[in-house]
Structure 1
Amino acid sequence: MAGHALALRPLCRRLAVHPLGVHCAAVGDHPGPHDQPLRDGLWRAAECGATFLDTSDSYGLGHSERIIGQFLRDWPGHRLQVSSKVGLVRGSAPHPYADRRIHQQLEQTIDNLYIEPPLALYTLASLDFGPADRYLGSAIDQMRILRRNGDITAIGMRGPHTALGAPLEEWRRQAARFVHLFHLIQPDVVWTHYHGLTPAVALTDEGDDLFTFTRRHGTGLVLAAPLAHGILAGKPLHRPTAQHGLGARDAGPIAAGIRELRHHFGHAPGTLSRLALRVCLQKSDHAAVIFGFRNEAQVEENYTCLGEPLTPEELALAEDVYARVRVGLQDVGTPPAHEAAV
């Protein structure tokens, strides 16, 4: 089954998207001659059926949004929906959520994207609302006004997240903070990093994980980094990076898991990517999965490698291997690293 054969999924009452979308964090990393491979990747994604492009005001300080805007102008009659974020770029304001900062940044985002409102999804990218959550009430009010006025279709908020190498206690602290804010913000969609190496942390006393919790509340999910920044596609791990918080000493558990997956599923190109993407896609029918890319070839592989859905036995096997890798990473005890930027 090719990517374009997947049916649209409702993320919330107001928003339905192709379940495999594009995360445009790399679109804008290096403005200049590096832009063309990224534009080619966007074209290929649209040709493969993508309807959901995810960006942020912080990706290249607006350059990602402007590249997407140029692309949308060149794609007449497109059915593409764009998601962006706010909360990491302060500008001259005392805080990214201070005063009318959210309204002002949305206006700039709409201009960058060269679209008419509404923006499909606007996400609070940071759970930092200032000392004692000083700007939380204002941020909630601004987001609800934007939705009510038709400037955005859906309100998003960042999910619980920390470095993969962080202790489970830190994950639990992040989860508790998320649940507290979730009930106040009442988002339509939760945007979060998620893949096979993400620790399974209960959000409630009843043991609800993120998928059960959001389904219970009628909230959609956007799952970013399904390939764990290339690790689950077989990319060697040599040194720590801010993206995943893992280092060279974590390579052993990861390599063992990759070997086992190849033993069971084969060595054909795209096999590991297919497993990682399929595990996320089949985790829940109220979630969209977005992958990052740097060139057209990566987009091509991710949309064409999917094949048929994993059988229940295949899914269970892949998830069991990922779970054992997670245990191995905890045993290694990587020191906490800085959280990845949105």
Structure 2
Amino acid sequence: MQQRPLGRTGREVSAIGLGTWQLGADWGDVSESDARAVLEASADRGVTLFDTADVYGDGRSESIIGAFLAERRGHDIVVATKMGRRLEQEPENYTPENFRAWTERSRRNLGVETLDLVQLHCPPTAVIEDDATYDALDALVAGGAIAAYGVSVETSAQALAAISRPNVTNVQIILNPFRLKPLDEVLPAAEAAGVAIFARVPLASGLLSGKYTSSTTFAENDHRSYNRHGEAFDRGETFSGVDYETGLDAAAELAAALPSDVPLPAATLAWIASLPGVTSVIPGARNVSQAQSNADAAALLAGEGSGFDLAAFDAVVRDVYDRRLREAIHPLW
């Protein structure tokens, strides 16, 4: 597993990380034993980045990670959590007092004195552009509550605003074959500034798993049922904002371009991780098999095994996006 610099922190994280939204809520039920098994399988495969948030299962994801890492002495895993969605996403709620309360709660959940990395959880644009936001975050670093901070964003414009801040360690943004706008400006800007990029929703909420069909159904408490049109939060978080049937067709075309022994999810994760400026890709996993397969995609980066051609797949990704998705997706995020 490749390890890459985490911005200017002096630490490294794996090219393939683990997103843990699934271990909290909004993806159907995942038992605590299954969640711990996912963490163990990922760590055993060389994954050194766990991405979580204080609202994933109202702290359940953080607590499970904290308990797991407490038993895995000497680990080199970076835990990147997020804050800012425990209240309405109004600029007036992003105060130093709330920042302190949120980070204190995450420190308890994770069982640590200092949080490795805290990211603002897709805050309003006004918060990202406000000097006071970064003054408050700098104060948390100075006080030892957090070691570093970043911003998770919805749009490329928000990403560019965060990258321009001198102490931002990372920006987390949706990036996958259905969401190519970050390639235009965000990745070059981040690379030039020494800011890490975490590519989230890399498999477009499973659309790029190659397993879904028109008849696939999802649990009532799964956001792929209740947020397809942005009913609960930004619709770009669900299937990357792509129309479900359009996404199925695009995924089928991408899969058809691959060698028979290269699954679409592995090719997708390797392709994202290969992009200049990307530090880590953070797919989620509900079970051990998914966790292992996601981590094993890193082998494609090293050219191991099959005749997978990253450059050829890159050309197909861009062609499919231009023909099927660009007009509907590119202007929005």
Does the 8 Å CA contact 2:267/2:297 hold for their aligned counterparts? no
Q: Is it true that 1:296 corresponds to 2:288 in the alignment?
A: yes
For residues 160 and 128 of structure 2, the distance between their equivalents in structure 1, rounded to whole angstroms, comes to: 18
**Aligned mate of 1:115, from 112, 115, 121:** 112
Alignment partner, residue 215 of structure 1: 191
Q: CA deviation at 1:226?
A: 2.0
Q: CA RMSD in A?
A: 3.2
Q: CA deviation at 1:324?
A: 2.2
For residues 133 and 48 of structure 1, the distance between their equivalents in structure 2, rounded to whole angstroms, comes to: 37
SS at match of 1:273: helix
Alignment partner, residue 232 of structure 2: none
For residues 307 and 176 of structure 1, the distance between their equivalents in structure 2, rounded to whole angstroms, comes to: 33
Does the 8 Å CA contact 2:15/2:298 hold for their aligned counterparts? no
Does the 8 Å CA contact 1:237/1:247 hold for their aligned counterparts? no
Question: If the length of structure 2 is used for normalisation, what is the TM-score?
Answer: 0.80
Q: 1:212 to 1:39 in 2, by over 3 A?
A: same
Q: Is it true that 1:273 corresponds to 2:265 in the alignment?
A: yes
Q: Is it true that 1:60 corresponds to 2:41 in the alignment?
A: no
For residues 107 and 193 of structure 2, the distance between their equivalents in structure 1, rounded to whole angstroms, comes to: 29
SS at match of 2:58: helix
Unaligned runs of 5+ in 1: 1-5, 162-173, 203-207
Q: Which amino acid aligns with 1:141?
A: D
Q: CA deviation at 1:319?
A: 1.4
Question: If the length of structure 1 is used for normalisation, what is the TM-score?
Answer: 0.78
Q: CA deviation at 1:180?
A: 3.6
Q: 1:152 to 1:321 in 2, by over 3 A?
A: same
For residues 62 and 193 of structure 1, the distance between their equivalents in structure 2, rounded to whole angstroms, comes to: 23
Q: CA deviation at 1:63?
A: 1.3
Q: Is it true that 1:319 corresponds to 2:314 in the alignment?
A: yes
**Aligned mate of 1:200, from 181, 188, 191:** 181
SS at match of 1:291: coil
Q: Which amino acid aligns with 1:106?
A: T
SS at match of 1:230: helix
Q: Is it true that 1:260 corresponds to 2:256 in the alignment?
A: yes
Q: Kindly, what percent of the aligned residue pairs are identical?
A: 24
Q: CA deviation at 1:143?
A: 0.6
For residues 283 and 93 of structure 1, the distance between their equivalents in structure 2, rounded to whole angstroms, comes to: 34
Q: 1:224 to 1:105 in 2, by over 3 A?
A: same
Alignment partner, residue 205 of structure 1: none
Which structure 2 residues correspond to residues 79-98 of structure 1 after superposition, within 5 A? Answer: 79-90=76-87, 95-98=92-95
**Aligned mate of 2:67, from 65, 70, 73:** 70
Which structure 2 residues correspond to residues 1-342 of structure 1 after superposition, within 5 A? Answer: 6-14=1-9, 15-29=11-25, 34-90=31-87, 95-117=92-114, 119-128=115-124, 133=127, 136-159=130-153, 161=154, 174-184=155-165, 186-200=167-181, 209-236=185-212, 238=214, 241=228, 242=235, 243-244=238-239, 245-251=241-247, 253-262=249-258, 265-266=259-260, 268=261, 271-284=263-276, 287-309=279-301, 314-330=309-325, 333=328
Unaligned runs of 5+ in 2: 217-223, 229-234
- Using the TM superposition, name which of 300-309 and 177-186 deviates more: 177-186
Q: 1:283 to 1:26 in 2, by over 3 A?
A: same
Alignment partner, residue 220 of structure 2: none
